[in-house]
Amino acid sequence: MSADLALRLIECLVGWSTLLQTLEYFKLRQSFEAKAVWDWSLLKQEMPTLPKAVMVFFDFLFDPHKGQTALFALRLVASISLLAGFSLGFFISCLFVLQVLILFRFRGAFNGGSDFMTLVVLSGLMIHLCLSASPWAYMAAPAGLGFIGIQLLSSYFVSGWVKLRRAEWRGGQAMIIFLDAGVYGPLSEHSLFRRPMVAKLCSWSFIIWEGLSPISLFGLDVALAYVLVACVFHFLVFWFFGLNRFFWAWLAAMPSLIYWSGRIF
């Protein structure tokens, strides 16, 4: 896969991902009017040392009736424009800044991992954008795609080896606990996943697949197979736990892995 094709695929996928995230916000907008754990009046108490002028600005920007709606409306326009291929540099920069503001607004916890992976992908595109306008333009694509690829592989590698160190994952008990808390949980007493050997087999499948993620760099065929399994994995996470954002956030980073496959080893 060429660098240009990989970058354009990433732009389209992250544009689609942020578009869905923004539409989700507008669907949930009424929830922000009620006092809840994500209410700005509560979260801003974690930043008592900010200058008053800065806090006044944030109070306006994150007001659900004023700045916050405008912020997400701008994100909607930027996402659609990125998908369409209009003024890519401007809209990539716009989405990057908006993503940082959204993470700041929700203290990085509105949708956790998917929001941070979205920032990772946008950061890689920003690296490419900035280096393209510098004397090191020849490094722009490899640097941007490399940043995304490293973050993607490390997210799987660390997750797999953390699971390996936990007895409840090695024994399969953690799998049952997670499925009990899922969309279709708790599992029935006769569920296949309650069988110790099935739960252990599923757990070890995840541990091995995540922990061996670096092997995806050993050739295009291996990378494509790994990406296919990753798509199935994230779809199952969506299906059982309702984490739809994770599917698109991680999928947006996959072209970087395909680009680098076979180029290192």
How high is the pLDDT of residue 163?
A: 92
* Cβ neighbours of residue 122 closer than 8 Å, sequence gap 6 or more: 14, 92, 95, 96, 99
Do residues 239 and 125 lie in contact, with contact meaning Cβ atoms separated by under 8 Å?
Answer: no
Do residues 81 and 38 lie in contact, with contact meaning Cβ atoms separated by under 8 Å?
Answer: no
Nearest to 142 by CA among 255, 264, 3: 3
Only one residue has tokens 């739809």, namely 244
Residue 99 to residues 116, 120, 153, 230, 260, Cα–Cα distance (Å): 9, 10, 22, 24, 26
How high is the pLDDT of residue 133?
A: 87
How high is the pLDDT of residue 181?
A: 82
* Cβ neighbours of residue 135 closer than 8 Å, sequence gap 6 or more: none
Do residues 126 and 96 lie in contact, with contact meaning Cβ atoms separated by under 8 Å?
Answer: yes
How high is the pLDDT of residue 265?
A: 59
Would you give the end-to-end CA distance of the chain in angstroms? 16
- Quote the tokens at residue 126: 């920003």
Residues of the chain with pLDDT under 50: none
Rounded to whole angstroms, the Cα distance separating 108 from 100 reads: 9
Residue 203 to residues 72, 83, 170, 239, Cα–Cα distance (Å): 38, 37, 7, 17
How high is the pLDDT of residue 114?
A: 85
The packing angle between helices 67-84 and 88-105, to 10°, is 140
Residue 34 to residues 29, 38, 151, Cα–Cα distance (Å): 10, 10, 36
